[in-house]
Structures are given as C-alpha cells and as structure tokens.
Amino acid sequence: MPYPLYRPRRLRESPLLRKMVRETTLHASDLMLPLFVVHGRGVREPIASMPGQSRLSIDELLKECKDAASMGIPAVLLFGLPKDKDPRGSEAYAEDGIIQQAVRAVKDTIPDLLVVTDVCLCEYTSHGHCGVVEKGRVVNDPSLELIARTALSHVDAGADLVAPSDMMDGRVAAIREALDEATYVETPIMAYSAKYASAFYGPFREAADSTPQFGDRRSYQMDPANGAEALREVALDVDEGADIVMVKPALPYLDVIARVRADFGLPVAAYSVSGEYAMIRAAGQLGWLDEERAMMEVLLGIKRAGADIVITYFAKDAARLLEQGRA
Ligand code: PBG
C-alpha cells in the first residue's frame, strides 16, 4: 500500500498506540548479570574501566545477588579471581576455589536465583590463556580435560548452568560427558559458541586480571570478519549437546545473532561485553550521550536482533528503569 494510502505516522502519534504496536519488549526476566568474585571479606573494589562495577568478596556478592533477585533478574554469571595463578590454572577446578565457594554461598542464601558459572582457565593461568600451553602454543585436546573438570566442580558446588567460554574445539562434548558420568544429566550448558577475538573485552581483562601474557587469543577466538563460520560453530555446539548458544560480543555482531536465531531452534544468548558497557558509561559521564536511553536502546536492539537472554553489566540499571515504568 503506497503513500498516501499508507501513512506509517498514523500509528506513531499516540503514545498508547505506539505501545500497542511495539514489536519487541525488554523485561527484567531477559537479563543476566555478570559479577566478579574475589577472596577476602568486605571487599568491594571498584573496577576503573567499568564504572559502577566492582570486584566483590563473597559477603558483598550475596548483597548484590539479593538485590538482583529482588529486581526480577533471574540469573547471575560468576567470574572468579584466584588467590594464585599457575600454568594449569589449578584454582579453576579446586573444590575450595573462589567460584566453588561463591556458588555454594549464593545457592545457600538465595535459592531462587539461577547461578551460572563461566567455565574458562584464563583468570587462573599464569600465562593468561584459556587452555594449556605447550611450546608457546595453546593446545586443544589437553585443555579439554581441565575445562571439563572445572565445569564438573562448579556443578558439584551447586551451579545451575555452566557456560564454557574458552573456545577450545570439542569442549561442549567433553563437559556434557563429564556431567552425565557424574549423573548431572539435567544440568544445561550455555555455550559461548560464536565468541569473537574482540577489542571489546579490554575492560573485562583488567577486571579479571586475565590478559594473555604473550600473544593474543586469535588462535582460538573467532575472526570478527566471519559470519558463516559462526553458524558452523553453533552447529557443532548443538551437536555436542549445548542447550543455549551464545553470540559474543553483541553490538558489533547483531547480524550474527539474527542468523543464529533464524537457523537454529535453540534459545540464543547474547553477551553485551565489558567494552560495550564502558563505551556507554564513558560517553554518559562526559555528557555526550543520554546514558539511560542509550543503554535501553542497545539492550532492546540486541533483543530485537533475536536474543532470548541478554547478558549485561547494565542488568540492574535496566531492571530498575523497567520497574519504574520509565523504559
Ligand atoms: C574468559 C572470558 C572473557 C570474557 C568472558 N569470559 C575474556 C576473554 O575472552 O578474554 C569477556 C567478557 C567481557 O568483556 O565482558 N575467556
């Protein structure tokens, strides 16, 4: 129907009508909040490159989790900073590791909140890579055993979901096998399936102290130029038993989110990473952007692209606005 018969502005005049024809809505229940856990007590150490985010000891983490749950955020995603690092990332799979302790504490105190754990070695290894290093290379198959062990130890501690972010080939199958053998057949895996080698992880690496000590992650994370390859990665993870697939980062990869949504019947998560958060916060602090509006527009855009779950450091800010009916 051409103009002047069809006038799109007819539906835009009234705020009520705009609301009724709105195609996408963001809810607090779409959001997952990432949090950083450290050893100690009473620690709430601000992360300079992520204003508003802190490294939290377990007692402080519990406050944050209670807050999130009371705002209707269903899940947190936990990252740990170990006491010591070594070449094989031992604390990643230690029974009394920081994440294992944190998971137990959160599940004991706030049983209604889903606890998701990031499964990776990079925060725990002295070289800062996501797998085992031999002769200066990150070797795939020897890494799988440690990654599966890490996931199993998280579930032993009570994690509701595990989320492998290492990008080793075959890790979803290795984790599924380890969980099934331990009779955790019901525990889902949320795979970081299309994870790109991105500059937008910069603030996170400061927060988690996980910058690689040599080289970079391009031998295991994806080339930002590739879209079809993302679909192959997702297909592999689905075959290996992934229950939820993830695209990460979100904002520069909305096309990938949309393609994964269209091609697979599985729930899709999108991780709006530390650099996406820092960008909006920084521009907001400088007065260059309306921070609240930019935040909501980005989160809504990620959902419109096809994400069911949006992982974002803005989860509490967004949930607050939604609660107040201001977004
Ligand atoms: C661990 C991991 C990273 C992020 C999530 N899991 C860092 C990396 O791959 O270097 C990044 C998250 C963010 O930037 O918010 N492998």
Distance CA 4, CA 283 (A): 40
Q: Which residue has the tokens 């996931």?
A: 151
Q: By alpha-carbon position, which residue is closest to atom 12 of ligand 1?
A: 273
**Residue 109's domain is classified under what CATH number?**
3.20.20.70
Task: Specify if 4 maps to a domain.
Answer: no
Task: Specify if 297 maps to a domain.
Answer: yes
Q: How far, CA to CA in Å, does 231 sit from each of 168, 171, 258, 271?
A: 16, 17, 11, 17
The answer to pTM > 0.95 is yes
Catalytic residue among 83, 135, 195, 303: 195
Distance CA 149, CA 100 (A): 12
Pick from 90, 61, 55, 83: nearest CA to 206: 55
Task: Specify if 15 maps to a domain.
Answer: no
Residue 135: phi and psi, rounded to 5, are 50, 45
Task: Specify if 30 maps to a domain.
Answer: yes
Question: How many domains does the chain divide into?
Answer: 1
Strands annotated E in the chain: 31-37, 44-46, 54-56, 75-80, 114-119, 132-134, 137-139, 161-164, 190-195, 244-248, 268-272, 309-312
Domain carrying residue 62? 25-323
Strand, helix or coil at 68? helix
Task: Specify if 49 maps to a domain.
Answer: yes
Distance from the alpha carbon of residue 195 to the mean position of ligand 1, in angstroms: 9
Task: Specify if 19 maps to a domain.
Answer: no
Distance CA 180, CA 104 (A): 21
Instruction: Give the single-character DSSP code of 272.
Output: E
Task: Specify if 45 maps to a domain.
Answer: yes
pLDDT tens by residue, the chain, 327 residues:
999 999 999 999 999 999 999 999 999 999 999 999 999 999 999 999 999 999 999 999 999 999 999 999 999 999 999 999 999 999 999 999 999 999 999 999 999 999 999 999 999 999 999 999 999 999 999 999 999 999 999 999 999 999 999 999 999 999 999 999 999 999 999 999 999 999 999 999 999 999 999 999 999 999 999 999 999 999 999 999 999 999 999 999 999 999 999 999 999 999 999 999 999 999 999 999 999 999 999 999 999 999 999 999 999 999 999 999 877
Closest ligand 1 atom, residue 275 Cα? 14
Distance CA 69, CA 88 (A): 35
Task: Specify if 18 maps to a domain.
Answer: no
Ligand 1 pocket, residue 201 CB under 6 Å: yes
Q: Is the dihedral of CA 162, 74, 209, 285 positive or negative?
A: positive
Strands 190-195, 244-248: pairing kind:
parallel
